[in-house]
Structure 1
Amino acid sequence: MPTPGASPAATAAAAAAAHRHRRSRRRHPQGPPPRQPWCCSFALDPLTAVHRSPHLPPGTTTTAPPPPHPRRRSKNAAAAPPLSRRMRSPGRVSPVDDATAACGASASSSARLSSVSECPPPPPPPPPRKPAAAERVLRIRLVSKGVILEVAEVERVRRECRVVGRILGGGGGGGEVVVEGKVEVEAIREAVEMMLEDVDEAAAMRRLSRAGVARAIAVLEVSFSLMFDRGVTNCLKYLEAVPWNEPEEERIKSLLLQYPCNKAVSQDLLARLQPQEPSSSAELVVELMDSITKGTNNNARKDLRTLVDGIISRTSIYIKSDKELDMKNIYPICHTCLNCLVELFGEASDLGPSGQTTISVGKGPHERICKQVENLTWLLQILIDRQMGEEFVDLWASQNTLSTMHERFSPMVRYELSRISATIFIAMGSGKLHCTGSSRLGVFKAWFRPLLMDFGWLRRCPKGLNMATLEDGIGQALLTLTLKHQQVLFMEWFETFSGQGRECPNLMRAFQVWWRRSFVRSLDSSS
């Protein structure tokens, strides 16, 4: 330290000597400098004790080094070589080689930690300002899905979609369109991508074809909602050219009823949904029945009868009301079949020998007779189910020509006629036919005796008839006549049954009811 009053030269020499002395001490240290702590964690406890390092500037604090663990302290810890004498691998520098560097690192780390722990929390940063290009973005928010779709080409969408144009107005910026309801994300995406495409109908058809009918219907609904006319046109043209199932058809009908569209565009599609000139379903049913009765393939006729039965049944999903199924138009077909049946029996009678009592026909005429009987039985069953078969009972009772020729033909042919009579007796006995007394008596007078003669053949070849039901139906229908007429018919049955046995229907239960009503519980005897 220079003495007061020394000359400037002496002062400079003393300063130089002090500087050389410090450099020599750095080159030949007496021992390793004290190692400063290395802090790299932000989890600093503010209550940790601090001390002032003599090598740091005033105002900077650092943490005290932690005491060594008692278990890890070695007996030869005092004999450890100084840090500067440790071996180092080539090219590697020790992190603590210079006391000044160590102190500087510790000072910088401690300053950083102290500033984080002592400074108050910074205010929240202001929202970043979006560039001008990002502001021209259209956001489509799907409320039910919680999804936001962003579209960069706002002007293209504004021109194609009238709803977006109304919401965004004429400005050049972007905006947000909120879509409520259950809308598919992919349907929105397909519609927007279609807006961004060039006006290429073939490309739009390929896009919709890859998506499928269900997706095309969803895109159609989105296009209707957003007033995207080109999308509506493309979807309608695609749907008109592909088949649908019934649920898809109902969705298309609902959309066309909910959203009005250009009839010129939807004309072809509407033609698939409703006829241009509506016709009566009853007239079409009559045409179908007439075609079946004139068919020649037996298997095909059977399948078609099942098809028509399903269409006109009361539980069918293809009908709406009974007014569309006025079955009175069936009777002209019934007359045609009956006339054909009479002609076939007449032709077979003319071909037979004049003196022969029983006429047998060939395979061809027999098949044609069976065909007409099947037609009449089928038509009669339809009329009975629709509760419109009373007129047929009168028609069948008036067939005097057929009933007269019945006895002249072999049982193998004539029993076909008894199948029609059996269907009528079952319906009357079960109450499905509400005929007048004269009609019931007329059909019994014409066809009761032929049925008794053919019952054995009906039992052997029932062709769908339930013989127990037939016996019960004949007895119940017979009991609907007056007691006087019942007596005549029951006596006829009694005589036939005594000679044929089980070849004749068993009407004993009905006979007992008639007997009790006539002789046991009559009005005269009770009075």
Structure 2
Amino acid sequence: MAPEPNAAAGARRIEVDGVDNVAAFRDAVELMFQADAPRWLAKAGVSRAIAVLEVASSIMFDKGIRSCLEYIEAVPWNENEEEKLKHLFARCTFDEALSKDVLARLQTQPSSSSEDLTGQLIQSVTSSTNNSARKDMQSLINGLLSKSSVYQKDLSGLNKRSLYQICCSCLNLLVELFKQDSEPKCGTDQALKIRHNKPMIERVSKQSENLSWLFEILVNNDMAENFVVLWAGQDDLIRMHEQASPMFRYELSRISAGVFIALGQGKVQCPSDLRSQLFRGWFTPMLTDFGWLQRCSKGLDARALEDSLGQALLTLPLREQQSLFEEWFQCFASRGAECPNLSRAFQFFPVYALLDSQSQQ
């Protein structure tokens, strides 16, 4: 440490060899002369305390190390501060007795525990009986699983099997609800069932939202193809859709909308026969329910659905494209805006090539 004259100011400047963060070094020196170190650190904040801790470690300022660790352990951190601490503990070694409480908040769980925790959190969300709380928890989980989150590397080990078990549970509940709706609405048992349960619309909506949310998680983690298999094979739901009230049957098409959008935007790749099965089962319900989906959008982008539905349809074999476009044409001609507008996709349908092939047969 050597003083140098400052000609411009007539003062002296102090240079500290081997110290990159001079401000933190100055704070560490200031902390040495503080009678109430906890109060000083509380005013300084976590980020400055971390910087002082690093300096205190390098100059073996034991009292400063203890004070910083005690303060840091006792206060909450933001994501950036937690990352700074992780980097610091990777570079520096601290007395175990002093640092164990901070380390207990930093240490990453084994991957299997992380997978179990994530699955339990998602299960808790889908089981929630409070709509507002469920939406808040969904946003929280989405943030934790986001690739931009510093926690993503700890919670990204999603267990595919656990996720699909939750999907199947929600799907089974949805099937049971539609079966209940198809039962006669009379008798003591049915009256008790209605009295002690929430309205059918609310219960169906909950499971629809759960499945749409789970599908979004699966898409974001490249695990969604099996969901398409599950949804395309729901013959019972497809059959019951025709008989159910339009006030809640459109919730099934809300799930289909998410699948069609993912397919049309290329976020999920499926074999041709699976795409065909999906369209055979859920295209007609989509045409039927599109008006309801527009009126009760719940965040669904109808224009994106129209574009993606058309794009996905164009990936099918020509014969199937023809059949589906004919069905859409009749629906659109009679219902107009109550039917999805696939005219943009229809412009790319090679109708003349198909007519030529028919004439040659």
Conserved 8 A contact 2:28-2:55: yes
Deviations 1:286-334 (A, max 9, x none): 2222111111221221222222222223333432399634555321111
Aligned twin of 1:422: 257
| Bigger radius of gyration | 1
Aligned twin of 1:36: none
Q: Following the alignment from structure 2 to structure 1, what is the Cα–Cα distance between the partners of residues 303 and 52?
A: 62
Q: CA deviation at 1:454?
A: 1.7
Conserved 8 A contact 1:188-1:219: no
Q: 1:227 to 1:456 in 2, by over 3 A?
A: closer
Which runs of 5 or more structure 1 residues have no equivalent in the other structure? 1-140, 149-177, 198-202, 355-360
Q: Following the alignment from structure 1 to structure 2, what is the Cα–Cα distance between the partners of residues 143 and 324?
A: 54
Q: Following the alignment from structure 1 to structure 2, what is the Cα–Cα distance between the partners of residues 214 and 502?
A: 56
- 1:303 paired with 2:165, answer no
Q: 1:233 to 1:352 in 2, by over 3 A?
A: same
Conserved 8 A contact 1:282-1:327: no
Deviations 1:452-505 (A, max 9, x none): 222222232222223333223222222222222223323333333344343323
- Name whichever of 254-263 and 479-488 sits farther off: 254-263
Pick one of 192, 195, 214 that aligns with 1:379.
214
- 1:516 paired with 2:357, answer no
Aligned twin of 1:82: none
Deviations 1:83-104 (A, max 9, x none): xxxxxxxxxxxxxxxxxxxxxx
Conserved 8 A contact 1:223-1:231: yes
Pick one of 322, 330, 345 that aligns with 2:178.
345
| TM-score (ref. length: structure 2) | 0.80
Q: Following the alignment from structure 1 to structure 2, what is the Cα–Cα distance between the partners of residues 322 and 215?
A: 28
Q: 1:503 to 1:221 in 2, by over 3 A?
A: closer
Matches within 5 A, 1:17-96: none
Q: 1:429 to 1:243 in 2, by over 3 A?
A: closer
Q: Residue type of the partner of 1:314?
A: K
Q: Following the alignment from structure 1 to structure 2, what is the Cα–Cα distance between the partners of residues 280 and 236?
A: 27
Q: CA deviation at 1:382?
A: 2.3
2:157 partner SS: helix
2:152 partner SS: coil
| TM-score (ref. length: structure 1) | 0.57
Deviations 1:338-384 (A, max 9, x none): 00001111112214379xxxxxx997111001111111111112222
Q: Residue type of the partner of 1:287?
A: Q
Q: RMSD of the TM alignment (CA)?
A: 3.4
Q: Following the alignment from structure 1 to structure 2, what is the Cα–Cα distance between the partners of residues 479 and 142?
A: 76
Q: 1:143 to 1:516 in 2, by over 3 A?
A: farther
Q: 1:224 to 1:515 in 2, by over 3 A?
A: same
Aligned twin of 2:26: 185
Conserved 8 A contact 1:418-1:451: yes
Q: Following the alignment from structure 1 to structure 2, what is the Cα–Cα distance between the partners of residues 450 and 479?
A: 19
Aligned twin of 1:482: 317
Matches within 5 A, 1:134-283: 141=1, 146-147=13-14, 180-181=18-19, 182-183=21-22, 184-191=25-32, 193=33, 205=38, 213=46, 216-217=49-50, 219-275=52-108, 280-283=113-116
Q: 1:353 to 1:399 in 2, by over 3 A?
A: farther
2:153 partner SS: coil
Pick one of 230, 239, 247 that aligns with 1:412.
247
- Name whichever of 260-269 and 208-217 sits farther off: 208-217
Aligned length: 341
Q: Following the alignment from structure 2 to structure 1, what is the Cα–Cα distance between the partners of residues 45 and 341?
A: 65
- 1:437 paired with 2:269, answer no
Q: Residue type of the partner of 2:149?
A: S
- 1:336 paired with 2:172, answer no
Conserved 8 A contact 1:328-1:388: no
Q: CA deviation at 1:189?
A: 4.5
Pick one of 311, 314, 337 that aligns with 2:147.
314
Q: 1:264 to 1:480 in 2, by over 3 A?
A: same
- 1:502 paired with 2:337, answer yes
2:316 partner SS: coil
Aligned twin of 1:368: 203
Conserved 8 A contact 2:28-2:56: no
Greater relative CO, 1 or 2 (CA 8 Å, sep 6+): 2
Q: 1:387 to 1:259 in 2, by over 3 A?
A: closer
1:464 partner SS: coil
Q: Residue type of the partner of 1:292?
A: V
Q: CA deviation at 1:417?
A: 0.9
Deviations 1:27-66 (A, max 9, x none): xxxxxxxxxxxxxxxxxxxxxxxxxxxxxxxxxxxxxxxx
Which runs of 5 or more structure 2 residues have no equivalent in the other structure? 5-11, 188-193
Conserved 8 A contact 1:430-1:473: yes
Q: Following the alignment from structure 2 to structure 1, what is the Cα–Cα distance between the partners of residues 177 and 68?
A: 59
Q: Following the alignment from structure 1 to structure 2, what is the Cα–Cα distance between the partners of residues 367 and 434?
A: 32
Q: Following the alignment from structure 2 to structure 1, what is the Cα–Cα distance between the partners of residues 252 and 119?
A: 24
Q: Following the alignment from structure 1 to structure 2, what is the Cα–Cα distance between the partners of residues 351 and 435?
A: 39
Conserved 8 A contact 1:187-1:215: no
Aligned twin of 2:157: 324
1:324 partner SS: coil
Aligned twin of 1:285: 118
- Name whichever of 312-321 and 390-399 sits farther off: 312-321
Q: Residue type of the partner of 2:315?
A: T
Percentage of pairs with the same residue: 49
Q: Residue type of the partner of 2:123?
A: D
